[in-house]
């Protein structure tokens, strides 16, 4: 069973990929947060890998992240997608350890151990990015390579626009955030409203190709996970004005690599076409054959090789796009 399958069924099993043993994780001050399965994944990360918890107090609320030590130079920040957690990025982090000294995977608001943040009047998504920026400022003291997948891709773009001097390079994997009119946005939201087992099966089929028995196990996990109030609020609160514009993407001055799984059936082809055409001229767009919406979950080794090739080439050019 692939890591993507375990991601979708993480209410059924908690799994992280092993890396070398290391320091234990810090306990969250003030008690536990997050659903039990997410807490179990963090405990598994402590037991199986060189990962520790990091906490940051921000003006928007508390933010949690997992950190892994590497053997290379510089820092990488990896941002997960909707309904996922930073722990799901551990397999990718393991493959990237040779290229970075530190790898940090924050839990987005309402995911993992990061609680839902109060709406500050500017929308929960923007408040979340502001909290992320404050947290990263306390954890990382030099420009970092920032990776984001799906919802995490949108967060990564927003962060890069807000803090361009803190982003050495931006790597996106099937990022969300392409503009949609009200009708298209409503249809997109409907795809995440999992009311029945049949709805959950349909979602699983859009994410991956799998055999019949696994479909039902994964659908059970999807239905439970998507019923969480914090995740429902993210979907139901999405607004067309929170999405990106061409002008915003053109402002990305740092080196950019955008990866897109050829079998992505979660985001519409129009989303892929938007990023391919709207990213600045210096950006690279690469399609990943035989992979779906979460390539870093299906084949973390493939994604890590693409990231390393991209960042190694940048280093050879002195960091220029």
Taking 50 as the threshold, does the pLDDT of residue 22 lie above it? Answer: no
Statement: residue 26 has pLDDT above 70: no
Supply the DSSP symbol for 23.
P
114 falls within a domain: yes
With CA atoms as reference, report the closest residue to 270 among 159, 177, 162, 146: 177
| In-domain check, residue 268 | yes
Q: In CATH, what number is assigned to the domain containing residue 220?
A: 3.40.50.1820
Task: Record the pTM.
Answer: 0.86
**Which is more confidently placed, 124 or 63?**
63
pLDDT, one tens digit per residue, over 101-116 is: 999 999 999 898 999 8
Q: How far apart are CA 18 and CA 94, in angstroms?
A: 8
* Total of domains in the chain: 1
Q: What is the mean pLDDT of the chain?
A: 85
Asked if the structure places residue 51 within a domain, the reply is yes
d(CA 216, CA 222): 10
- Identify whether 246 is part of a domain: yes
Residue 59 lies in a domain: yes
191 part of a folded domain? yes
Asked if residue 262 has pLDDT above 90, the reply is yes
Share of the chain above pLDDT 90, in %: 60
Torsions phi, psi for 172 (to 5 deg): -115, 145
Burial of 284 (0-12, 13-18, 19+ CB in 10 A): middle
Domain that holds residue 162: 3-14+35-316
pLDDT at 16 over 50: no
Higher pLDDT, 320 or 13: 320
Q: Indicate whether 205 belongs to any domain.
A: yes
- The closest of 87, 1, 2 to 48, measured between CA atoms, is 87
Question: Does 296 fall in a domain?
Answer: yes
């Amino acid at each position: 069973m692939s890591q993507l399958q375990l991601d979708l069924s993480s209410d059924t099993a908690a799994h992280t990929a092993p890396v070398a043993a290391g320091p234990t994780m810090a306990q969250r001050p003030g008690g536990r947060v997050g659903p039990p399965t997410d807490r179990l994944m963090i405990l598994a990360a402590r037991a199986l890998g060189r990962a520790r918890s990091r906490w940051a107090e921000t003006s928007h609320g508390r933010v949690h992240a997992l950190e892994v030590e590497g053997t290379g130079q510089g820092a990488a920040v990896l941002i997960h997608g909707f309904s996922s957690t930073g722990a799901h990025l551990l397999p990718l982090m393991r493959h990237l350890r040779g290229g970075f000294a530190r790898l940090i995977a924050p839990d987005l608001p309402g995911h993992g151990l990061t609680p839902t943040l109060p709406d500050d009047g500017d929308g929960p998504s923007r408040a979340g990015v502001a909290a992320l920026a404050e947290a990263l400022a306390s954890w990382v003291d030099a420009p970092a390579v920032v990776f984001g997948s799906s919802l995490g891709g949108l967060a990564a773009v927003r962060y890069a626009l807000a803090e361009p001097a803190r982003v050495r390079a931006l790597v996106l994997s099937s990022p969300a955030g392409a503009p949609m009119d009200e009708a298209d946005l409503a249809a997109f939201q409907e795809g995440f409203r999992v009311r029945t087992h049949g709805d959950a099966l349909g979602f699983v089929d859009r994410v991956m190709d799998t055999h019949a028995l696994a479909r039902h196990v994964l659908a059970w996990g999807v239905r439970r996970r998507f019923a969480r109030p914090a995740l429902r609020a993210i979907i139901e609160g999405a607004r067309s004005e929170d999405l990106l514009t061409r002008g915003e993407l053109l402002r990305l001055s740092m080196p950019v690599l955008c990866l897109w799984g050829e079998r992505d059936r979660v985001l519409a082809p129009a989303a892929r076409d938007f990023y391919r055409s709207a990213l600045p001229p210096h950006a690279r767009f690469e399609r990943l054959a035989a992979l779906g919406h979460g390539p870093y979950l299906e084949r973390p080794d493939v994604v890590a090789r693409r990231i390393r090739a991209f960042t190694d080439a940048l280093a050879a050019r002195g960091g220029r796009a």
